[in-house]
Chains A and B, each alone.
Chain A
């Protein structure tokens, strides 16, 4: 069945804070805007029960509430949302064709705000026990580990937040980090280190996740002494960073060594008329506020590109 390809001024790929913010700006500039989201609206921040550093919310706000409000705001100004997965972008001068799993769309400018995906630890047992003690979301699953011992793997802000969140339920939280210092911001480090329920294992990596029907133990190794130990835990929360979702863009755009999209100060990529915003962009600081800021910058410059 031949369907007429729908045309838009701007197509935004990804419905996290960067994409939603971009949509608010393009729609208010009266540019017809389509937002394509492959999963659900909100991006990675929906895993956060409390966002404390987004300006304007003195008591904090949950990630889901914040992004649902952004989505309503974008829809109010006329952004159309579809749920589909983008599989390719074809550039023919000023005309960009976006191929998705279910169709094709044409845009004059494209803003890629598809974010990053949670990185897996990549050890035996991780896949088998996902949902059986291996989790990537403390907010979602913390309550299943009431009065139990759990581990958190990682050393950044996300890992620190997960560890603190888990102290509300768990008897003990062991933070396992491969280095001898945390990458988390100082305020988060202070909170982690002063929490009596949190124990930190420095210079330690997880070799294997063990159990029968659910997680029972972690096989750990100290990277300095090479000594291996078994740590009995009921759950393990993995928070070892994220990977930009740029698989299908490799051939089209200039990416950096970690696979993030390289942009100039207008947030334009190596292809004119294609912009990038948020965590998918090289040197993103991975914050909601910077993602939203990126969205605005990309949107304004996409508008300029279209009117040139």
Chain B
């Protein structure tokens, strides 16, 4: 079981869009191999960035509307939200240093 907390359609507004800190949302599904592969990487990042970014995951199987709304057509997709807007979008498995770079950039911009 992943250590990353789940978010769903009902709570997306409150937990992601209205959040005071940037939020990384991991769009995943139980059938997806690469999603399981990226899980420990996301957990490690969550540890590293815990003061600055909150980490949540959204099951696209149970929450298809949110996935559709943000144009997610491939998983895993990691999307960083800042002030209610998606600011970066990473599709597919990426090694940790590459994800750190994207997060650093998202944090630095604006």
Binding site for B on A (CB under 8 A): 38-42, 46-49, 62-64, 68, 83, 85, 101, 130-133, 135-137, 139-141, 143-144, 213-214, 235
Contact = CB atoms under 8 A, between A and B. Distances in A.
Contacts, number: 85
Nearest to A140: B32
Per DSSP, are chain A's interface residues mostly helix, strand or loop, or mixed?
loop
A62 B89 CA distance: 27
Contacts of B94: 39
Contacts of B37: 39-42, 46, 64
Nearest to B38: A40
Interface stretch (B16-24, B49-57, B67-75): B67-75
A49 B38 contact: no
Contacts of A143: 29, 31, 60-61
A85 B96 CA distance: 10
B105 to A, nearest CB: 18
Interface of B: 29, 31-38, 40-41, 60-61, 67, 71-77, 89, 91-97
B93 A139 contact: no
Nearest to B77: A131
Contacts of A42: 33, 37
Contacts of B29: 140, 143
A63 B72 CA distance: 24
Contacts of B38: 40
A135 B74 CA distance: 7
A214 B91 CA distance: 14
Contact of A62 (B33, B34, B71): B33
Given A137-B34, A213-B71, A39 B92 contact: no
A56 to B, nearest CB: 20
Contacts of B33: 42, 46-49, 62-64, 137, 139-140
A131 B71 CA distance: 9
Given A85-B95, A131-B89, A139 B74 contact: no
A136 B37 CA distance: 15
B73 A235 contact: yes
B110 to A, nearest CB: 24
Contacts of A235: 73
A144 B73 contact: yes
Nearest to A43: B37
A47 B34 contact: yes
26 contacts: A38-B95, A40-B41, A40-B93, A41-B37, A42-B33, A46-B34, A46-B37, A64-B33, A68-B36, A83-B41, A83-B96, A130-B74, A131-B89, A132-B71, A135-B73, A137-B74, A140-B29, A140-B31, A140-B32, A140-B75, A140-B76, A141-B73, A143-B31, A144-B72, A144-B74, A214-B71
A141 B77 CA distance: 11
Given A132-B74, A144-B60, 5 more contacts: A41-B37, A131-B72, A144-B67, A144-B72, A214-B71
A83 B95 CA distance: 8
